[in-house]
Amino acid sequence: MDVSKIVFFIVVGLLALQRVLELRLSKKNTANALRQGAREVAPGQVPWMTSIHTLWFISMVAEVYLWTTFSWYSFTVGIFLLVTGQALRYHAITTLKERWSVRIIVWPVAPVRGGLYRYIRHPNYLGVCLEIIGVPLLHGAFATSIVFSILNACFLYFRIKAEEKAVYG
């Protein structure tokens, strides 16, 4: 196996570890929110989101292992999208603090409007979209990038619709 694939698998492994740690934070924040009077909306969406993200990881690893070749052009686009996506997601996490969760949680107070939330209503979702497109491109996994971008967009259509209705009426 060539070095570029090994590096790609390490990056994907670190990203998977990051997601596991984020899920732990989300679980803690969700439990705290519910104790403080917040409520969860559309919990049935979580298994769909989990499935899409899990299959995305599996798909890109399989595609890179079996079929792709490294391209500096694809890598450059992918790293730009990954870094931008990470910045957007971590801005959302740090701005929302204990309100951040992978679940749709409606708090009995006004929504956060600071930081990027003044300009973009869903910077976390935008960040995730950029990562879903970009990470597979780090090693030319174009099929995974395209297929899972479409699946994620379909999921986010319903997710954002439910969140907008719950939070903004």
Model confidence at 7, in pLDDT bands (50, 70, 90)?
A: very high
pLDDT digits (tens, 9 = 90+) for 103-125: 999 999 999 999 999 999 999 99
pTM (2 d.p.): 0.97
pLDDT digits (tens, 9 = 90+) for 76-95: 999 999 999 999 999 999 99
Q: Are 95 and 111 in contact (CB under 8 A)?
A: no
pLDDT digits (tens, 9 = 90+) for 27-73: 999 999 999 999 999 999 999 999 999 999 999 999 999 999 999 99
Four-way CATH pick for 3-163: 2.60.40.1580, 3.40.50.720, 1.20.120.1630, 3.40.50.450: 1.20.120.1630
Q: What per-residue confidence (pLDDT) applies to 35?
A: 98
Q: Are 107 and 166 in contact (CB under 8 A)?
A: no
Q: What per-residue confidence (pLDDT) applies to 169?
A: 86
Q: What per-residue confidence (pLDDT) applies to 100?
A: 98
Q: What per-residue confidence (pLDDT) applies to 1?
A: 85
Select from 69, 1, 40 the least CA-distant residue to 162. 40
- Token couple for 92: 């959302």
Amino acid at residue number 1: M
In angstroms, the CA 50 to CA 168 distance is: 25
Q: Among the residues of the chain, which ranges form H helices?
A: 3-35, 45-66, 72-96, 123-137, 142-168
